[in-house]
């Protein structure tokens, strides 16, 4: 079995989510000493231990919740009287720090035109993992669209077969027309993606919405889409539009309001 420290290196290398649980305080009789660690993966399996038994089960539950909400937590348990809800009878007290380890969010640009390239450039600078996708091979490569970490020259509806989509995945559709969106959008709407934004006017989105409904896509799924995309900045150039798009994504990712700082 690999050590927790080796596992942490693999997590960072492979962009995997996990929660690191560390005993930070131990008084009296407790199952494990200060510094004991357990690493809990998003699929539920774990390595290491912070005590076993009921206390460890509670910590495992907290680790899963930390992976859900992205928040660290400091846990305190008395291990004296199970009748009071304590997770053991050892007689001591233990504190455990649970820290979610989450990969940088993945931003996928579908449609590698002028705006798409600018979005990838800005997102990469801001620390996102980036991917470019376009069914036109001549647009979807490192020479034509620099700064992406990965390239997927496939149709939009094929992307779920190539990308692991989770709640840290952001899709930016800077495609060449509503027909492209209608043909490929449905599988993305079935995914747990954090964000799906589509460039274009309100009229274009209305056309897309009508066609999606004709396919049987529900209003609930259609409501996931942000279109027209971005914050209102009166943006015109590809670079300005990219700022507008990324600003909206950061606002949602960081749970901001989008208000002027002067007004907040």
What is the per-residue pLDDT for 29? 64
What is the per-residue pLDDT for 57? 87
What is the per-residue pLDDT for 82? 54
The Cα–Cα gap between 248 and 241 comes to 11
pLDDT tens digits along 147-180: 899 999 999 999 999 999 999 999 999 999 999 9
106-253: CATH class: alpha beta
Token pair recorded at residue 235? 């943006």
The Cα–Cα gap between 186 and 69 comes to 26
What is the per-residue pLDDT for 91? 60
pLDDT tens digits along 84-127: 544 555 667 888 999 999 999 999 999 999 999 999 999 999 99
Other residues' Cβ atoms within 10 Å of the Cβ of residue 111: 26
What is the per-residue pLDDT for 80? 55
**Nearest partner of 140 among 243, 148, 245, 105, judged by Cα:** 148
Token pair recorded at residue 80? 């004296």
Token pair recorded at residue 262? 């002067």
Rounded alpha-carbon distances, angstroms, from residue 57 to 40, 49, 123, 127, 135 = 11, 10, 39, 35, 47
Domain ranges of the chain: 4-101, 106-253
What's the gap between Cα 140 and its chain centre?
Answer: 23
Token pair recorded at residue 264? 């907040």
pLDDT tens digits along 184-222: 999 999 999 999 999 999 999 999 999 999 999 999 999
Whole-number average pLDDT of the chain: 90
Other residues' Cβ atoms within 10 Å of the Cβ of residue 215: 10
**Contact (CB, 8 A) for 212 and 184:** no
What are the counts of helices (DSSP H) followed by strands (DSSP E) for the chain? 7, 11
Token pair recorded at residue 86? 């304590």
**Higher pLDDT, residue 56 or 82:** 56
Backbone angles phi, psi at 104, to 5 degrees: -55, 145
């Amino acid at each position: 079995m690999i050590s927790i420290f080796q596992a942490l290196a693999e997590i960072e290398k492979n962009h995997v989510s996990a929660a690191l649980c560390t005993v930070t305080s131990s008084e009296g009789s407790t199952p494990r000493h200060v510094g004991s660690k357990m690493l809990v993966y998003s699929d539920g399996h774990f390595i290491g231990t912070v005590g076993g038994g009921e206390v460890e089960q509670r910590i495992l539950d907290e680790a899963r919740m930390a992976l859900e909400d992205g928040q660290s937590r400091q846990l305190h348990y008395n291990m004296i009287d199970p009748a009071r809800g304590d997770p053991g009878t050892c007689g001591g007290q233990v504190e455990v720090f649970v820290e979610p380890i989450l990969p940088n969010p993945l931003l996928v640009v579908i449609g590698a035109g002028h705006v798409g390239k600018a979005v990838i450039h800005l997102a990469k600078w801001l620390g996102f993992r980036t991917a470019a996708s376009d069914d036109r091979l001549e647009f979807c490569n490192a020479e034509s669209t620099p700064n992406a970490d990965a390239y997927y020259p496939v149709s939009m509806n094929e992307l779920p077969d190539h990308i692991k989509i989770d709640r840290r995945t952001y899709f930016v559709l800077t495609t060449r027309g509503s027909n492209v969106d209608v043909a490929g959008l449905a599988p993305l709407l079935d995914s747990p993606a954090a964000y799906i934004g589509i460039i274009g006017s309100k009229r274009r989105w209305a056309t897309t919405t009508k066609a999606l409904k004709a396919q049987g896509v529900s209003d609930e799924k259609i409501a996931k889409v942000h279109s027209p995309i971005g914050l209102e900045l009166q943006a015109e150039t590809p670079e300005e539009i990219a700022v507008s798009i990324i600003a909206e994504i950061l606002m949602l990712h960081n749970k901001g309001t989008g208000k002027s700082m002067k007004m907040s």
